[in-house]
Each structure stands twice: as C-alpha cells, then as structure tokens.
Structure 1
Amino acid sequence: MSNDEITLTAGDAEVVLAPGNGGRVRSLRVGGRELLRQGERFGCFPMVPWCGRIRDGKFRNGGTVHQMPLNSPPHAIHGTVRDGAWRVARADGTEAVLTYDLVAPWPYPGRVTQVAALTEDSLTLTMSVETYESSFPAQIGWHPWFNRNLDGEDVRLDFSPAWQEERGDDHLPTGNRVEPGPGPWDDCFAMPGGVDVTLTWPGLLELKVAGREEWVVVYDEQPEAVCVEPQTGPPDGLNTLPRLVTPIEPLEATTTWTWRRL
C-alpha cells in the first residue's frame, strides 16, 4: 500500500482513496466484504473532462478542433484525470477533498475537485470542474467496477431507463433512442429523473447508485465485474451534448451510493 492512500471509516464501512492513482476509490468494504474489483485499473475512477469515448479522439470548441490521444483506438476514452496524481486538500476520518489541475494533453487550464464523504450506510462522491480562463466543454462521471460475485452470489441489476442510446458498431451512440434491451451491455441509458440503479447480491447486500445526473452507462461484459457509471452526458457528449465550463459557471455532479444488509 502506497503512503498516500487515505482511509475513511464509518461504522463497519471503509473506503480507501488512492490520490496517486488517478484519484480513484481503490476499495469499498462493507462489513468486511470488498465491493469493488481490485487492481491498478479498477476500483472506481473519476472520468473527467470527458466520459466514455470521443469519436476519433476529436472534439470542437467553437471554431477549434482538438485531438486527444487515441487511448482506445480509434477513439479516446474516459478523460485524462485517471492517469494523473491528485493532491490531497483535506482529509479527516470520514471525508476527503482531492484536487487535480488539468494539464496536457487537455488543451485548457482548469481545476477538478473531488469530495468523498462516508457515512455508515452511504458514500457520496461530488466533483466539480472550474476554470478562471477560457471556457471549454466538459463532462463528469464515475466508473466503478463492482464485484459481480460476493460470497458465491452474483449481482442482479435493476433500473428503469426512459430509453437506451442505440449503439453503433463503433461503440458510440448513433443518435437514435431505442427501447431498453436485455444485456450484456456496454450501453448508455437515459434517466431524466436522475440516475437510480440498484445492485442486489441476493441475501447479502443491496446497493443503490443514485444522483441528479440523467445519464448512466452500464457495462457488464466481463465475468468479474459490473460497471454502473453515472455521468453528465452520453459518450461522445463533448460533441453531441456539450456542457460548457466558464469562469462564472463550473460543472458539478454528485453520485451517492447507499447500501443495506439483506
């Protein structure tokens, strides 16, 4: 375990944050059970300043087209902040504040702040992107890898989206809205009333992922884990549904995970 990890505890819940590894939540244990897939790339990482894939790694801001590195060819995926080391602004027993200053290859200066707050039955993650200079499009999201199986029980997913974004062969939304279909998924769903997804490990634990954001990507194509990713826009949203960060208006988002024993 590296020195810079931060442990939060409340009741029998424990969260370990790894500022040095992309500001991710490395571990979430409830009653001694690890809920997140373990490993350098897993846990739950923040997706900023974009979520999911950008088509061909290109996005436009006004008349300027920017090219991001194609880290998931032919696209760019999941932002830049998961690859960097974050700073710890403040940490106590149940809450921590981490910051990250946007740097190249992202072309605009800005600061990302993430707050993790733990109670006995919930973890709330809040993120903001702010700038004091040029305005730019951005997205905020989280990419948790929940363990599919706990103590021999496979997780069940329950959610009622308004629609599913039709997925093209390039894994990006085509722009068509379709009836939500059965999994396995690597798909984006719209929940205009706010993200509300329940993960249930029968007889053990129920965990609800909720927030005001209207978009969630569900990814369950791997045997080890299930991802439920709340975000401020769909994949390729920098191009199709941009949210502008300006000197007077930051972009902010929150997700709360609440659990209970069964």
Structure 2
Amino acid sequence: MKNDAGSAPENTVRLRAGDTEVTVEPERGCRIASLRIGGTEVLRQGERFGSFVMVPWCGRIRQGRLHSGGETYQLPVDSGEHAIHGTVRRRAWRTARSDERTAAFFCDLTEPWPWPGRVTQLVELAEDGGGLTLTLGVETFGDSFPAQAGWHPWFLRNLGRGGRDVTLDFAPAWQEERGADHVPTGRRTDPGPGPWDDCFGMPEGVDVTLTWPGELELRVTSRCEWVVVYNEQAEAVCVEPQTGPPNGLNTHPRLVTPIDPLEATTTWTWRRPDQELS
C-alpha cells in the first residue's frame, strides 16, 4: 500500500547508525531500497533496483526446467526463454521485528515453487554505521528440495557528485563459461576482461572491492563461493554473492532438508578516503 506522501510502502523499515541510513521495503520483495552513506545514495533507485533477494534460485534456470528426484518441474519463464532470480523478489514479505539498527523479515514459499517452505532475511547495520550484514535462511515445511540464496545489489556506477565512475577489484579462481543462451555451459575458464554478465568462482569466499575514486570504497564479502558480476549497463554495476551458479539447481543442487536449512550471509563494509577499511 502506498502512503499519501509518495511511493514508498507504508510498512517501509528504516535503520540508522552513525551517518548511514538503510531503507528496506518488505512489500517489494524485502529489497534494500536505499543505502545512504554520509548523505550519498549508493544504490540505483527504482522498483526493480536497490538490492533484492534471489531465492529459491539465483540467476537463470535454463528454459525454466528444474530436474530433481527424477521429476521435471516447469517454473515460470520470465527472462527470454528462462526463469530468473527466484520467486520472492516480487512477493510481499512480513516484518518479524525491527529496532534502530536491525530488522528481521520472512516470506513463505508457495506456488509456483513446488515445495512449501519459508525464507527469512536479517538486516543488521553496524553500530558505527560502517557496515551492513544481510543473512538469508531457507527452510522446508515438509519434503527436501534444492535451493539457492543470494543478493542482487545495483550499485551506482557514479555517485553523482562530480567524481569518477566505480572500479572493481577481485581475484576469482575461475569464470563460468557463458553459453549463447546466457547460461553457464559447465566449462570453467580463466577469468577474462569485462564488461561482464558472468559468474565467477571464489572458493575461499566472495571478496570484491568497489572504489569510487576519492569518494568511497565499499567491500562485499561472503562465505558464498560464487559471485555474478554485471556491469553492462551505464547506470549501475552489480556484485551478486550467491550459493551456487546460474542453473545451479540442476548442476550443483544443494538440498534443504528438515534438519539442514540453507543459510547465507554477506557483509558490506565501507570507508571514505580519510577512514580505515574494516
């Protein structure tokens, strides 16, 4: 529901610490709609942007066909010939609790996903306002099922203050070869130059630094072993930690069972030129 003052949903949650403000919109897929550091917006604005949750899969599933337990399930095709980015990014989530710096949210998995379950997201702003930690959980209400979890942040290419565009620094172990249909072929190659719409393997954990020269340095880390980097648009760049590669429900299945939920965490830390990076 929209309020009279603008387009933000009525149950928008705002977290504050130091000079940082985080805005979460549960009704719009529990996306991080805004991250303002020292008054400067870091995320691209708009209903499709910010930073959204990818569950129960990340990236594309080839032709929307999920093969599991000897069965084939057809998921809605919503990106060319593929199913993309899961089902919860367009769902309304519920707020479980919130205070000045932390908030917890949940959303149930329902059709068109074949298995009942629940997704949770915990959003935690560091006490000094110098970092943000996001934690996802995926659990089943019954039968085991394959799942992935991840985040799709749209970081502004330029912060709009007269500075230079962002640069990326990361050292992946490999790059997933991308087929003509934009789905990994299963072959691993040496990392190549951008621009990218590609998945990379980082078996020691995701570690990517974005630098807006002279303005801000932001580091994305996670114990996840895959990251998709997308920088083919003029407005923003995406650094997406995730628990498996695109089409990974078919190629790298990780089962969520009644005693073994899926959990994933990413932490963003930042500094301005006169500060030490955490």
TM-score category, normalised to shorter length: over 0.9
Out of 89, 104, 127, the position equivalent to 1:82 is: 89
Equivalents in 2 of 1:99, 1:122: separation in Å?
22
Cα RMSD after superposing both structures: 0.6
Whether contact under 8 Å (1:48, 1:81) holds in the other structure is yes
Whether contact under 8 Å (1:132, 1:246) holds in the other structure is no
Whether contact under 8 Å (2:226, 2:242) holds in the other structure is yes
Equivalents in 1 of 2:68, 2:96: separation in Å?
31
Q: Which amino acid aligns with 2:36?
A: R
Runs of 4+ in 1 over 4 A off after TM superposition: none
Shift of 1:64: 1.3
Partner in structure 2 of residue 177 of structure 1:
188
Shift of 1:197: 0.2
Provide the aligned length of Structure 1 versus Structure 2: 262
Equivalents in 1 of 2:239, 2:133: separation in Å?
15
Instruction: Indicate whether 1:145 and 2:121 are aligned.
Output: no
Q: Which amino acid aligns with 2:218?
A: L
Shift of 1:11: 0.2
CA deviation digits over 1:75-104, x for unaligned, max 9?
Answer: 000000001000000000000000000011
Partner in structure 1 of residue 200 of structure 2:
189
Shift of 1:132: 2.8
Equivalents in 2 of 1:11, 1:245: separation in Å?
38
Gaps of 5+ in 2: 1-7, 274-278
Matches within 5 A, 1:86-235: 86-119=93-126, 120-150=129-159, 151-152=161-162, 153-235=164-246
Please state whether the residue corresponding to 1:233 is helix, strand or coil: coil
Partner in structure 1 of residue 75 of structure 2:
68
Partner in structure 2 of residue 52 of structure 1:
59
Equivalents in 1 of 2:119, 2:231: separation in Å?
28
CA deviation digits over 1:137-170, x for unaligned, max 9?
Answer: 0000000000000123200000000000011100
Q: Which amino acid aligns with 1:189?
A: F
Instruction: Indicate whether 1:236 and 2:247 are aligned.
Output: yes
Q: Which amino acid aligns with 1:209?
A: V
Partner in structure 1 of residue 5 of structure 2:
none
Whether contact under 8 Å (2:170, 2:208) holds in the other structure is yes
Gaps of 5+ in 1: none
CA deviation digits over 1:105-149, x for unaligned, max 9?
Answer: 001000000000001100000000001301000000000000000
Equivalents in 2 of 1:14, 1:196: separation in Å?
23
Shift of 1:2: 1.9
Partner in structure 1 of residue 16 of structure 2:
9
Equivalents in 1 of 2:213, 2:42: separation in Å?
14
Please state whether the residue corresponding to 1:56 is helix, strand or coil: helix
Instruction: Indicate whether 1:21 and 2:28 are aligned.
Output: yes
Equivalents in 1 of 2:67, 2:144: separation in Å?
12
Equivalents in 2 of 1:19, 1:48: separation in Å?
15
% of aligned pairs identical? Answer: 68
Q: Tell me the TM-score normalized by structure 2.
A: 0.93
Equivalents in 2 of 1:42, 1:103: separation in Å?
24
